[in-house]
């Protein structure tokens, strides 16, 4: 059935797909226009195969039905969809690759809350399993500005609770177990026997799935296959509103896990994941592991896991992520790449075999096993390392810092600012950058300052305006950028990093260790003055 439509403003994919208020997504033609634009901008759906699934948030199931009907009406050959339209983002990426499909549509607003008054999102991934690169998302956006019609099959809903093959408007729909192929991939990368033996020996863990999509994956892998005590995985049932939780695995939103890990009789290891399962937070007994440190430790120890025995080809991190992993790469004699924020920038490096491990400060880590970050993968690599080293998380981290030095690191977010104020603060600092090198700020000498631009070493594409950075002598840095994933107003992110070599005596009070950086940021950018805020809304 052909439906006449008109372009809808603002359907511009951000850092990670199109993310908007759920009600907007549910409004007349909104989802349909975007999906049709994806098909149109990528050469049409005729004869193609896709993977479809999402994180189970409110509207996930109805949106999946719309997409199936649209894929059918656009002539697609087959869609592989997770049971009940559930698929974690890394599992979707794996299925795209495993089945050599033409791409996938992932329904998620990641770590943003879900529900009728919260957020929804759609992300298009290409045949390599990764988020569509900018050239593709720009073509999709351009198409949303021209669209006049969309196609949707006039058919009944598919029964997505039933595993097996069904037909809709001449298209095959394969409803699959969302966990099975992903779990098999994890078994191929990690030493499950060793991890199982560690659990059998009394190792205790808590995994907070935050009522989001990772629950079924974590239960199957940690409890059933690895023998972790039943109940290890909490908040394991994916719920449309994530049980009212904010499914963002960080010390603020995963408070219960933090309290348990810092409380009496804490388990040996704690972890949490986000709405769609691509983010992770790991915590040891009484010690928090910052994502940038986690990436560095994973890189330094990856060879302990069977899937990485041959060593790493290189590592990549987003620009705001701390440089901790760079020094591991230097010690290993491998390349370290610095990319703009967003997983899509890692795709070419992974495809070209230049990098094996990638990570971001925003609780994202992953490898070339898929083309997305992967929360449970990071947790399993940690477990494999713990099983091999037979040391605590604290011992491993402290040994790492002794060897490589420590990058004290924190991100300060100022949320829901007016766009004028946020762009004003950015503009203010941008205007000063050229004059900064050589200046002394808070007793520290600036050695470089720029608006980060990235030239992809594989295809030569250039991404500009990727964040303001001020680099000080000795490796400390300030970075400032605007979020590209928010759905309301503007979020200003200030990234603070202070490098201290060797045993430093600064202790674990990160915000105190960063005090000079915080003062330098205020002196240079005047965020508090401009926003009238006492301090950041979220500190990670
Ligand atoms: C945020 C993170 C970024 C991550 C993205 C998707 O984007 O900062 O690292 O890739 O979410 O999970 P931002 O809101 O900063 O644009
Ligand atoms: Zn996510």
Q: What is the pLDDT of residue 503?
A: 65
Q: Name which residue leads in pLDDT, 246 or 333.
A: 333
Q: What is the mean pLDDT of residues 65-76?
A: 98
Q: Which residue in the block uniquely carries the two structure tokens 């592989």?
A: 80
Tell me which ligand sits closest to the C-alpha of residue 248.
2
pLDDT at 477 over 80: yes
Per-residue model confidence as pLDDT tens digits over 201-211:
999 999 999 99
Nearest CA to ligand 1 atom 10: 342
- Does the beta carbon of 317 lie inside 6 Å of ligand 1? no
CB contact at 8 A, 283 and 305: no
Instruction: Tell me if 483 CB under 6 Å of ligand 1.
Output: yes
362 Cβ closer than 6 Å to some ligand 1 atom: yes
Look at the block and give the residue holding tokens 């039933």. 162
CA distance 161 to 139: 34
Give the pair of three-digit tokens for residue 377. 């993968």
**CATH no., domain 406-539:** 3.30.310.50
Ligand 1 near 16 CB (within 6 A): yes
Q: What percent of the chain has pLDDT over 90?
A: 95
Ligand 1 pocket: which of 280, 295, 320, 342 to mutate (most atoms within 8 A of CB): 342
413-454: pLDDT as tens digits = 999 999 999 999 999 999 999 999 999 999 999 999 999 999
Q: Which atom of ligand 1 is nearest to the CA of 485?
A: 14
> Which range has the worst mean pLDDT, 46-60, 95-109, 500-514?
500-514
What CATH number should be reported for the domain whose range is 181-404? 3.40.120.10
Residue 333 burial (CB count, 10 A): 7
Distance 279 CA to ligand 2 centre (A): 5
Ligand in nearest proximity to the CA of 274: 2
pLDDT band at 483 (very low <50, low <70, confident <90, very high): very high
**Does residue 273 line the site of ligand 1, with CB under 6 A?**
no
Q: Is the pLDDT of residue 154 over 70?
A: yes
d(CA 207, CA 528): 36
- Taking the CA of residue 278 as reference, the ligand 1 atom at the shortest distance is 12
Summarize pLDDT for 87-96 with one digit per residue, the tens. 999 999 999 9
2-176 folds as: Alpha-D-Glucose-1,6-Bisphosphate; Chain A, domain 3 (3.40.120)
Which residues have a catalytic role annotated? 110
pTM of the model as a whole = 0.94
Atom 5 of ligand 1, nearest CA residue: 342
Q: How far is the CA of 245 from the centre of ligand 2 (A)?
A: 14
For a mutational test of ligand 1's pocket, the pick from 112, 341, 363, 415, i.e. the residue with the most ligand atoms closer than 8 A to its C-beta, is 341
181-404 and 406-539 share one fold: no
Q: Identify the nearest ligand to the CA of 17 by its number.
A: 1
Ligand 1 centre and the CA of 116: distance in Å?
23
Residue 278 CA to ligand 2 centre (angstroms): 5
> From the CB of 485, is ligand 1 less than 6 Å away?
yes
* pLDDT tens-place string over residues 232-285: 999 999 999 999 989 999 998 999 999 999 999 999 999 999 999 999 999 999
CB of residue 456 inside a 6 A radius of ligand 1: no
CA 234 to CA 237: how far, in whole Å?
8
In eight-state DSSP terms, residue 156 is: P
Atom of ligand 1 nearest to the CA of 342: 10
Candidates 248, 238, 124, 99; CA nearest to 182 is 99
Predicted pLDDT at 451 = 97
d(CA 463, CA 530): 28
Residue ranges of the domains in the chain?
2-176, 181-404, 406-539
Give residue for tokens 């097996």. 164
Among the atoms of ligand 1, which is closest to the Cα of residue 318?
9
Tell whether the model's pLDDT for residue 504 goes beyond 70. Answer: no
């Amino acid at each position: 059935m052909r439906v006449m439509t008109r372009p809808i403003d603002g359907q511009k994919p951000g850092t990670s797909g199109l993310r908007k208020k759920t009600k907007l997504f549910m409004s007349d033609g909104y989802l349909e226009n975007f999906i049709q634009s994806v098909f149109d901008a990528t050469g049409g759906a005729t004869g193609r195969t896709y993977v479809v699934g999402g994180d189970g948030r409110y509207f996930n199931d109805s949106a999946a039905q719309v997409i199936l009907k649209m894929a059918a009406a656009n002539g697609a050959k087959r869609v592989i969809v997770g049971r009940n339209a559930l698929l974690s983002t890394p599992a979707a990426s794996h299925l795209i690759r495993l089945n050599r499909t033409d791409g996938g549509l992932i329904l998620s607003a990641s770590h943003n809350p879900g529900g009728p008054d919260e957020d929804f999102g759609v992300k298009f991934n290409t045949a390599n399993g990764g988020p569509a690169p900018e050239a593709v998302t720009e073509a999709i956006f351009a198409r949303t500005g021209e669209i006049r019609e969309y196609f949707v099959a006039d058919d009944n809903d598919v029964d997505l609770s039933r595993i097996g093959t069904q037909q809709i408007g001449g298209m095959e729909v394969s409803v699959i177990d969302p966990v099975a192929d992903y779990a098999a991939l994890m078994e191929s990368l990690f030493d499950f026997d060793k991890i199982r033996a560690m659990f059998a020996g009394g190792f205790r863990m808590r995994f907070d799935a935050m009522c989001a999509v990772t629950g079924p994956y974590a239960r199957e892998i940690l409890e059933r296959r690895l023998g972790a005590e039943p109940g290890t995985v909490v908040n394991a049932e994916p719920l449309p509103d994530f049980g009212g939780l904010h499914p963002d695995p960080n010390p603020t939103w995963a408070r219960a896990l933090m309290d348990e890990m810092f409380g009496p009789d804490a388990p040996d290891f704690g972890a949490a994941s986000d709405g769609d399962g691509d983010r992770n937070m790991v915590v040891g007994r009484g010690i928090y592991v910052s994502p940038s440190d986690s990436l560095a430790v994973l890189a330094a120890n990856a060879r302990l896991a069977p899937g990485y025995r041959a060593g790493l080809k290189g590592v990549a991190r987003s620009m705001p992520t701390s440089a901790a992993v760079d020094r591991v790469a230097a010690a290993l004699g491998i390349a370290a790449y610095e990319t703009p924020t967003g997983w899509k920038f890692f795709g070419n490096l992974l495809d070209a075999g230049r990098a094996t491990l990638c990570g971001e400060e925003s609780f994202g880590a992953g490898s070339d096993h898929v083309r997305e970050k992967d929360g449970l993968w990071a947790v399993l690599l940690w477990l494999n390392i713990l099983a091999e080293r037979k040391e605590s998380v604290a011992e491993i981290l402290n040994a790492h810092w002794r060897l490589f030095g420590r990058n004290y690191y924190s991100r300060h977010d100022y949320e829901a600012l007016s766009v004028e104020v946020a762009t004003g603060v950015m503009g203010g600092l941008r205007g000063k950058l050229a004059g900064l090198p050589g200046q002394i700020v808070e007793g520290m000498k600036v050695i470089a300052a720029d608006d980060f631009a990235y030239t992809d070493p594989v295809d030569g594409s250039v991404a500009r305006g990727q964040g303001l950075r001020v680099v000080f002598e000795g490796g400390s840095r300030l970075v400032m950028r605007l979020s590209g994933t928010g759905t309301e107003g503007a979020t200003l992110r200030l990234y603070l990093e202070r490098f201290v070599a060797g045993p430093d005596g600064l202790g674990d009070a990160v915000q105190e260790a960063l005090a000079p950086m915080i003062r330098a940021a205020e002196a240079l950018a005047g965020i508090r003055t401009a926003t009238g805020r006492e301090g950041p809304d979220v500190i990670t």
